[in-house]
Structure 1
Amino acid sequence: MPENTRTTEDPPAPVESPVLSRYEQRGIEPVPEADRQGNPLDLFWVWFAANLSILGIPLGVTLVALGMNVWQALLVAALGAFGSFALVGVISIAGRRGGAPSLTLSRATFGVRGNIGPTLVSLASRLGWETVNTATGAFALLSLSALLLGTNPDAKQTPVLALVCIAIFVGCTVAVSGMGHAFLVTVQKWATWIFGGLNVLVGAYLVSTVDWSAVASTPAGPISAVIIGVGTIAAGTGIGWANAGADMSRYQSGRVRAGALVASASAGAGIPLVFIIGLGSLLAAGDSSLAAAGDPVAAVRSLLPSWVAVPYLVTAFGGLLLSNHLSVYSAGLTTLTLGFRIKRVYAVVLDVVVTTLGAIYFILISDSFYGPFITFISLLAVPITAWVGVFVVDMIGRRRYDADALMDLSRSSRYWYRGGVEWRATASWAVAIVVGFLFSTARVSEAEVWFTGALADTWIGSNGLAWVATLVVAGALYAALGGVRAGRATKEA
């Protein structure tokens, strides 16, 4: 009888269940077929939880500041969030095929050395988001302590308390991210119900305070504002997560359909984002002072009585923590892809140390926070979308990844190419980045502009479509250079 054949008398094969009492031993090496038992619903909860963050409120306020009314803002939020996370879902397909994290699979596209550039960009993105999450989470705890214990909410006046708040947030992050995939999926699922419910309760109260006459009288903005808004939301949400798509989907069963992976990411993230971004835009439309606030999150807190402020701050802390869980887990895998020969859990700790130092700087030293945050995510959208353009074109022709070659960094690797670099992919990525920055303006405020690209005043640049130009140029150039054939020619086993 063939080895895999069963009779009706055979007992059912045992199904491995997640062991939540020990951390994930696997690093970036591809997951064996037998261990891929995941389903799209797992990913739905993971992405839903990761996007319950109150950082969506400033994005909603930004849409109103661009001149849109609430209905336009809701449309823009839906297009930007659902659309950008559909890209995350597309990258997830590669994770199901290869069973490895996104940037590890990217070695097959760029070469084991050529992949270092995209990996560094991805790590910078993850560390940046984690620093923002940690700093904002600590601010939420400081405000909560002020309400419940009467302490001073000013971090610079209470530096020891601020450090304690950072340590609490970091400790909660490592407790989940360090444990690994199975534990992370379970925590994200159940936390979604808890913090999702709190978001609804707090949101209901905030809606009841809105000046509906002011909302109704807000005129519609120009189509240019809508176009810019879609780009802003896409850059601030799904684009930042695109190169992490395969990090969670690597445990998905080979039987899962590609469309289900796209839908799980798009809907899982899109639903909470539209709710939170829409809430931010509604509040800003009802109170014009929010659009001019330097810290819209703190400004919203000032509108609340204490009995609502407490659940608001708890919700804020929880949502930021859920986002950070996934980001730190992904950053740990990305760190290992750079060639660090350490256990995954140690990579998580290393990344958390970096983001803790960044959070300390933001909270205790820096005088500005959200301005650089928006500028930061806008700039990183360019190299990330350039990577997406090349990687997706490569996926068209590549159905399998050689597991051994992905882990082989020597000259004998199938993915060594020439000098460790796949020049067509790397050149397309680099050219697209240059094009993207030519259309970009790095503006922190009216008085502070980091740089202005030579084509920033064109229709593409002035409408915030630098990331779209980057995506199109990267994919088109790589395709023209034979990118689709590159995957087929490798003859993966």
Structure 2
Amino acid sequence: MEKEMVKVPTADKTLTPSKLFYNWFAANVGIMGFVFGAMIVAYHLSFGQAIFASIIGGLSFLIPGWVAMIGQREGVTTFKLSRAAYGAHGNKIPNAIAWFNMVGWLAVNVITGTLLLISMYGVLNIPKNGLTRAIALIIFGGLVLLSGLLKEATLGKIQTWLSYIFGALTVVILIFFLVKANWQAALSLPSGSWVSGVLPAISIVAAGSGISWSMAAADWGAYVKPGTSAKATFWSTTLGGAVPLILLMAGGVLLSTIEPSLATTGDPFGVMYSALPSWFGVIYFLVAAGGLVPQCIVSLRSARINLATIGIRVSQPVSLTIHGLIVILIPIYVLFISENFLANFEIFLSFLGICLASWVAIFLCDSVMFRQHGYAEDLMAANSRVHYNWGGIVSWIIATVTGFLFTNNAIWTGPFARGIFKDNSLGVFVAAVVAILCMFVAKLQAKTATKAVRS
């Protein structure tokens, strides 16, 4: 068997700070930014609080910025780095989370693309019912499958051009929202609770943006050109992800002053479409849907690779069948049974956020506490002598379980999800804090063990 290369070859390190910034910017210039704005509004905050939550939530990209710096310094991608924190076999935990993250977002993208098509039915005088929703799902799903026949380079070019077009159209929409916004209504909104309103809003945005993206940050950071300053990598990653998201979330907040139903709707895209001129809405939503197709294809291919890293090796047809079923069954539930996209999306982000917040907190604590002088290459190899790093594994289990104990939603109620923790996503922050505390305990135990060996 061919030996695995741990570090990225120098010849492959071609990313400049500007290219890194563009990659992150393009990945986050998407219609989901408006959805995050809608979610913030649902917490009944004042206009200032909503904008504050948008900015702080967007700045969760400081986390991927930090992870990207580690990837650049070591020249190693995320899941090879995390072998040091969890052990070669224990690393299957973050691998499994990454698979869940990937498949979940794939389903979200398919649902989003379908809802974008459904939102345009009004222009074509097509009724919105079960049959027409099914047709929209078949059309978008068919586009995803057909696009799977295209080469990666072709998909990349399509995605690049759609990102440029979508970005330009989004600027027009933001200007439209600025002009049409009911500023008197916006500025007179009463303040909500900072603890049970603003903090949960920040946590749900962070879960779906910076925390979620942290698993991919070192994958790009490892490919940064040698000689690039760590600060350039950090800020290119942070601002590339945060700037478009903050602007789009602010747009979503402004949209709520034009269409107040945004705070209570289960279909934010329908509300958004009704606020736009019909002709412009058609162009914008078609471009938005088109931009989701290449993302779905890349995610489908990456999901198979991720299964292999966990130890589940399947052929491409089997992988497509497994992931295809998952990606179809989840949209069927959301579109035809639950019929509430926003509520289900928040449940997904809450669960995902708890698992990932504890993972990235442990990853960064491990780096700071145990890797001050760099990562030992043998700890990042697939055949590492350390199969299980129990400090990281146990910390993740304790932190994640604790996060769930303080969380409640439509399908789960934790015993401690009361008071300020009721009906919100503060369990994400709880998981991160507990993970950090557990790693301090692991550090103390490691010091005690080292002293015992020396004496």
TM-score (norm 2): 0.85
For structure 1, list consecutive stretches of 5 or more residues without a partner in the other structure.
1-26, 444-448
Greater alpha carbon shift after TM alignment, 308-317 vs 453-462: 453-462
Question: For residue 210 of structure 2, what is the aligned residue in structure 1?
Answer: 238
Question: For residue 36 of structure 2, what is the aligned residue in structure 1?
Answer: 59
CA contact (8 A) 1:28 1:104 kept: no
Aligned equivalent of 2:393, options 402, 406, 426: 426
Is 1:481 the equivalent of 2:448?
no
Question: For residue 163 of structure 1, what is the aligned residue in structure 2?
Answer: 138
Q: Which amino acid aligns with 1:438?
A: L
Identity of aligned residues (%): 30
Question: For residue 152 of structure 2, what is the aligned residue in structure 1?
Answer: 179
Distance 1:36 1:358 in 2: 38
CA separation of 1:160 and 1:348: change in aligned 2, threshold 3 A? closer
Aligned equivalent of 1:209, options 155, 169, 180: 180
Question: For residue 103 of structure 1, what is the aligned residue in structure 2?
Answer: 79
Question: For residue 453 of structure 2, what is the aligned residue in structure 1?
Answer: none
Q: Which amino acid aligns with 1:96?
A: Q
Distance 2:167 2:242 in 1: 14
Greater alpha carbon shift after TM alignment, 307-316 vs 369-378: 307-316
CA separation of 1:189 and 1:29: change in aligned 2, threshold 3 A? farther
Q: String of CA shifts for 1:318-372, please: whole Å, max 9, x gaps.
A: 4544654665565454333213457999978975664345335544555333211
Distance 2:82 2:317 in 1: 22
Q: String of CA shifts for 1:44-96, please: whole Å, max 9, x gaps.
A: 112212212222223212322322222221121111111x1111122222322
State the superposition RMSD in angstroms: 3.4
Paired residue secondary structure (1:452): coil
Q: Which amino acid aligns with 1:457?
A: R
Question: For residue 5 of structure 1, what is the aligned residue in structure 2?
Answer: none
Please report how far the alpha carbon of residue 474 of structure 1 lies from its aligned counterpart in structure 2 after TM superposition.
1.3
CA separation of 1:307 and 1:47: change in aligned 2, threshold 3 A? same
Please report how far the alpha carbon of residue 388 of structure 1 lies from its aligned counterpart in structure 2 after TM superposition.
0.7
Q: String of CA shifts for 1:77-128, please: whole Å, max 9, x gaps.
A: 111111x111112222232244443223222221122111221122111111
Paired residue secondary structure (1:239): helix
CA separation of 1:206 and 1:265: change in aligned 2, threshold 3 A? same
CA separation of 1:170 and 1:376: change in aligned 2, threshold 3 A? same
Greater alpha carbon shift after TM alignment, 256-265 vs 187-196: 187-196
CA separation of 1:457 and 1:30: change in aligned 2, threshold 3 A? same
Distance 1:108 1:327 in 2: 26
Question: For residue 10 of structure 1, what is the aligned residue in structure 2?
Answer: none
CA separation of 1:365 and 1:290: change in aligned 2, threshold 3 A? closer
Greater alpha carbon shift after TM alignment, 49-58 vs 451-460: 451-460
TM-score (norm 1): 0.79
Question: For residue 417 of structure 2, what is the aligned residue in structure 1?
Answer: 456
The structure in which a higher percent of residues are helix is 2
Is 1:251 the equivalent of 2:223?
yes
Paired residue secondary structure (1:482): helix
Q: Which amino acid aligns with 1:126?
A: M
Question: For residue 126 of structure 1, what is the aligned residue in structure 2?
Answer: 102
Greater alpha carbon shift after TM alignment, 114-123 vs 200-209: 200-209
Q: String of CA shifts for 1:199-249, please: whole Å, max 9, x gaps.
A: 112332344333333223223333232222212221232122222222232
Paired residue secondary structure (1:317): helix
CA contact (8 A) 1:166 1:359 kept: no
Is 1:279 the equivalent of 2:279?
no
CA contact (8 A) 1:49 1:191 kept: no
For structure 2, list consecutive stretches of 5 or more residues without a partner in the other structure.
451-455
